[in-house]
Amino acid sequence: MFSCRLQAAYLVIAFLCLGFLNGNSTPALAQNTVSQISDASSAIETGFELERSRQWIHAIEHYEDSLEEFPGNKKIEYGLRRSKIHFGIDRRYADASFDANLLTLDSAQAQELYDDVLGQIRSHYVDQVNVTSFVAHGTESLYLALANEKFVRKNLSNVPYDRVRQFRNVLRENYWNKPVASTNSSRGSVQEVAKLARRSIGLSETATTMEYLFGGCNSLDDYSNYLTPDRLNDLYGNIEGEFVGLGIEMKAEPGRGMKLVEVIPDSPAQQGGMRRGDFIVEVDNIDCRNLTTDEAARLLRGRSGSSVQIGLEDLSGNVRHNNFVRRAVHVKSIPVAKIIDPENGVGYIRMTGFQKTSAQELDAALSSLERQGMKALIWDLSGNPGGLLTAAVEVLDRFIDNGVLVSTKGRTFDQNWTYSAHSTGTRRNLEVALIVDEDSASASEIVAGAFRDHQRGMIVGRQTYGKWSVQSILPVRGQTGLRLTTAKFYSPKGHTLGKIGVKPDVVVDKVERQDVAFRGGIADDPANSEEVRTAREALLSHLFAKR
């Protein structure tokens, strides 16, 4: 969520994904799904195999699926946490800004940064912070980092394994869950371990402190974390709806390269012939078939006006090479707005995020559809992970003309707000059906909760994700930032549905969709989805009943 009320922080609802996670190994082990596993022991062993082969994304997915099958299993829960920590370490050490801005700090600067971050967390986090837990999670992160390939290669490449193993044992025996009385004691504990690591294995004090800083944030909720300069810029780009690059979303598939999940309209990528479903296999003559998403993204980054040569493999296996020039790319939050049933005047709007321009985009889309004869609207928020609080309030205000839209409550007074509707500019008589699914979260759930409580329109699809918390972006020294949960949000009737989500009025079972190639992209007609067909039928039934 975003609000200008805080001078030092931007309120945001964080996007769900950590980014496209990925491992480096072949995906063979990942084929062994939970449906093929008959007991928890087999699930644990499969997870260990994925971890041993450093397939962190597949390990995370496997453990998450296993917990649905074997809820409460402590070994599976720790396997999931362990894999997430390793993924975070891998991601940091593939991040150029982490290398340039943080690992280059001297020990005193690193300690000051740690103090700054912990101080902000203790002041602003939605719950009271247990300092012992914060430090303990830092110890755990360092312990796992000492067995992480990327961490060791960067920091300890010439240190014998036995020495590293002995130091890990010291961490385990002397510092695991060691009580910490205060923030000052926390500083002393981190300094003690950092100096001991330098003497024992030659690890820089800064590298140790970074693990305590990033690892400590693992003691918070899933949506709070410390952001490197590049991660912070990425988040601001999502908020603004604009960034410098090629205009693609990609996901690594080991052995094949970077699969293009989305190509943004009017971007350098689209204008240069990239299509959804293509694979990036080379970047400036560097083979990227076995790189992680973050490693490939590092190659693709660059200044506006700079060029990059990319090798692309299409769905038929043909490889072509093109030059692309990076520039500012605007990401629309409404990529589709069209009449899907001219005879009955049913319009369709797909909204993929909530950003600064969303309300203006919605106004333009509604006006255009009304000129084309729209009498009823299908508003599709399926797969929408959220965005700005103010954007959610502004778009809701187009459909609800009075009463509370959403409220927020936090530990500090400045996080408590109530947002109400206004009658001006509201399309109160427009029939609306709202589509949501298991990936609709945060700001999407603000909309769904308000629609449900105000009985504004039928909700179609599947139960939403269940993320009902507010994050603030707090600036930190060194061009870094802290994304921190500072409040929870509540529906107009006072419900907060974290880890529960909003249930639809009409349930549509999930159907796996297959990409179908055609010249210029992937066939994706919204009128063909079962959710849209169901929403259309519900709207028409309601319209006909009113006649």
- Backbone dihedral angles phi then psi of residue 442, each to the nearest 5 degrees: 55, -110
Alpha-carbon distance 179 to 158, whole Å? Answer: 33
453 is known as an active-site residue:
yes
Structure tokens at 265: 């309209």
Torsion of CA 397, 399, 402, 405, to 10 degrees: -60
- Of 66, 141, 186, 442, catalytic: 442
DSSP string, 127-165: S---HHHHHHHHHHHHHHHTT-HHHHHHH-TTS-HHHHH
Alpha-carbon distance 53 to 59, whole Å? Answer: 10
Structure tokens at 473: 């972006």
Fold type of domain 245-330:
Pdz3 Domain (2.30.42)
Question: Which residue carries 């992970």 as its tokens?
Answer: 385
Q: 300 with 216: CB under 8 angstroms?
A: no
**Per this entry, what is the length of the chain?**
547
Q: What is the pLDDT of residue 247?
A: 92
Domain coordinates of the chain in residue numbers? Answer: 20-223, 245-330, 336-546
467 is known as an active-site residue:
yes
CA distances 88 to 20, 78, 140, Å, are 12, 15, 13
- Of 150, 259, 332, 467, catalytic: 467
- Helix-helix angle 40-52:56-69, to 10 degrees: 170
Predicted confidence pLDDT, tens digits, the chain (547 residues): 433 333 333 444 433 333 333 333 333 333 344 445 568 999 999 999 999 999 998 899 999 999 999 999 999 999 999 999 999 999 999 999 999 999 999 999 999 999 999 999 999 999 999 999 999 999 999 999 999 999 999 999 999 999 999 999 999 999 999 999 999 999 999 999 999 999 999 999 999 999 999 999 999 999 999 999 999 998 988 888 888 899 999 988 889 999 999 898 899 999 999 999 999 999 999 999 998 888 898 899 899 999 999 999 998 899 999 999 999 998 899 999 999 999 999 999 999 999 999 999 999 999 999 999 999 999 999 999 999 999 999 999 999 999 999 999 999 999 999 999 998 889 999 999 999 999 999 999 999 999 999 999 999 999 999 999 999 999 999 999 999 999 999 999 999 999 999 999 999 998 765 443 332 333 456 667 999 999 999 999 887 776 6
- From 491, 352, 348, 359, select the one nearest 418 (Cα to Cα): 491
The sign of the dihedral angle between the CA atoms of 94, 148, 60, 46 is positive
**Which CATH code is given to the segment(s) 336-546?**
3.90.226.10
- Of 53, 66, 453, 529, catalytic: 453
Q: What count of Cα atoms within 13 Å lies in the side-chain half-sphere of residue 183? A: 13
